[in-house]
Amino acid sequence: MPLSILMSNPVYRCIVLCLVLMATVRTTRAQTDDTEFYPYDDSTGTARLVSSATAMETAWDLVRNPLEADIPGDAADVARIRRGFRLFIQTPQYAPMLSGNEMACGHCHLNAGQRELALPLVGVASAFPEYNKRAGRMFTLTDRITGCFMRSMNAVGATAMLSAHDPDQVAGMISGREEVRDLEAYLDWLSEGFAPGDSLPWRRRNTIGRADLVPTAMLDSARGEKLFMEHCANCHGENGEGVAIGDIKAGPLWGPRSWNDGAGAARIYTLAGMIRHMMPYVSPGALTDEDAQHISYFINSHERPVYPFKSSDYLKEEIPGDALYYDRKK
């Protein structure tokens, strides 16, 4: 097929761009210094994140890589940390019993949870327990990981979980598994040096200011689709299925292999905050607050797996206005 025809396809253009960037990473890395990582002023000096100011050239960067680090301690504990890291970036492969879709932890928490403005998890273990509005109770780190499996990874749709009849039963089947312990070990390792109550200024920054929120009734799916095709389809595909680029594949944004309708990303403003600061991958932060919300509305206007226990959510708190998959009559 002639090159001109290939290059007219936006997917091929994206792949070529990414291959060029990948080829330059090794030579560029030798010429850079620590300024490519964003340092935060904290007492331990360990809170360093891959900078949000960079793009595809740092897609594979890690501030701390447990597969390469000399981790002190018991060999079994070190092995658990490393298993947790692998599970984090390749969740369906390493946790097939708990995966009801093709989503991985690393699809939402870029650079294995170590990137600024990409839902970073450095120090996060020190923040628990903390109150969860959806559940109306205090959550442990185990609870939070279990919830992610149930919703973002759609474990409720995994074959092993189909016999469960209520959310507590599913949570009980998940929370005691080795996969959860492995993820906890990795997050504990990322949180070394942090004590309960320590400030984590990089948390909760993937948001859009209240004054800039567009009422959901004013969001336009057609406008969101146009913006999606312009800014997102190169990597996510026109049907949201995700395009493989090297060893990285964007997660499915809708359909049976995506997160379910009880996940955090199924909320319009939550997903918009992620899009606003994390995307497009080759130029993060290029979209406006309003554009990110229209794109989020378009993405969440599609069908996705059903979380069957939504009636058990928000029993003590008001259902958020952007949680459009929820029945407000309860």
End of a domain among 137, 159, 190?
190
The answer to whether position 319 is within a domain reads no
Q: Domain with 273 in it: what CATH number?
A: 1.10.760.10
Which helix (H) or strand (E) segment is 12 a member of? helix 10-29
pLDDT band at residue 32 under the 50/70/90 scheme: very low
Which helix (H) or strand (E) segment is 38 a member of? strand 37-39
Choice among 1-10, 203-212, 320-329 with the minimum mean pLDDT: 1-10
The answer to whether position 170 is within a domain reads yes
Compute the distance between CA of residue 93 and CA of residue 104 in angstroms, rounded to an integer.
Answer: 9
pLDDT band at residue 329 under the 50/70/90 scheme: low
The answer to whether position 49 is within a domain reads yes
Residue 44 three-state SS: coil
Residue 39 three-state SS: strand
| HEC letters along 101-128 | CCCCHHHHCHHHHCECCCCCCCCHHHHC
Entry pTM: 0.86
Both 141 and 38 in one domain: the answer is yes
Both 252 and 306 in one domain: the answer is yes
The answer to whether position 85 is within a domain reads yes
The answer to whether position 45 is within a domain reads yes
Both 255 and 215 in one domain: the answer is yes
| pLDDT surpassing 90 at residue 282 | no
Both 86 and 161 in one domain: the answer is yes
Mean pLDDT of the region 228-243: 95
Choice among 30-34, 229-233, 323-327 with the minimum mean pLDDT: 30-34
The answer to whether position 329 is within a domain reads no
pLDDT band at residue 287 under the 50/70/90 scheme: very high
Compute the distance between CA of residue 80 and CA of residue 76 in angstroms, rounded to an integer.
Answer: 6
Compute the distance between CA of residue 171 and CA of residue 160 in angstroms, rounded to an integer.
Answer: 12
| pLDDT surpassing 80 at residue 45 | no
Q: Please, what is the average pLDDT of the chain?
A: 87
pLDDT value, residue 12: 47
Sign of CA dihedral 129, 131, 134, 137: positive
| pLDDT surpassing 60 at residue 290 | yes
Both 150 and 180 in one domain: the answer is yes
Compute the distance between CA of residue 281 and CA of residue 55 in angstroms, rounded to an integer.
Answer: 6
| pLDDT surpassing 60 at residue 7 | no
Choice among 84-88, 93-97, 227-231, 244-248 with the minimum mean pLDDT: 244-248
Which of 153, 183, 168 has the alpha carbon at shortest distance from 264?
153
Domain count across the chain: 3
CB of 118 closer than 8 Å to CB of 277: yes
Centre a 10 Å sphere on the Cβ of residue 143 and count the other Cβ atoms it contains. Answer: 18
Q: Contacts for 222-227 with beta carbons within 8 Å, 24 or more apart?
A: 223/294, 223/298, 224/294, 224/295, 224/296, 224/297, 224/298, 224/299, 224/301, 225/298, 227/287, 227/291, 227/294, 227/295, 227/298
| pLDDT surpassing 50 at residue 318 | yes
Both 131 and 44 in one domain: the answer is yes
Containing domain of residue 19, as a range? 1-29
The answer to whether position 47 is within a domain reads yes
In sequence order, which residues have a C-beta less than 8 Å from that of residue 86 and are 6 or more positions away? Answer: 67, 94
pLDDT digits (tens, 9 = 90+) for 146-182: 999 999 999 999 988 888 889 999 999 999 999 999 9
Mean pLDDT of the region 86-102: 97
pLDDT value, residue 90: 96
Both 296 and 166 in one domain: the answer is no
Instruction: Establish how many alpha carbons lie within 13 A of residue 23's alpha carbon, considering only the half-sphere containing its beta carbon.
Output: 6
The answer to whether position 97 is within a domain reads yes
Both 182 and 237 in one domain: the answer is no
Mean pLDDT of the region 194-208: 93
Both 184 and 214 in one domain: the answer is no
Compute the distance between CA of residue 330 and CA of residue 103 in angstroms, rounded to an integer.
Answer: 30
Both 8 and 63 in one domain: the answer is no
pLDDT digits (tens, 9 = 90+) for 240-273: 999 987 777 899 999 999 999 999 999 999 999 9
Both 180 and 255 in one domain: the answer is no
Residue 28 three-state SS: helix
In the chain, what percentage of residues exceed pLDDT 70?
A: 85
Both 66 and 159 in one domain: the answer is yes
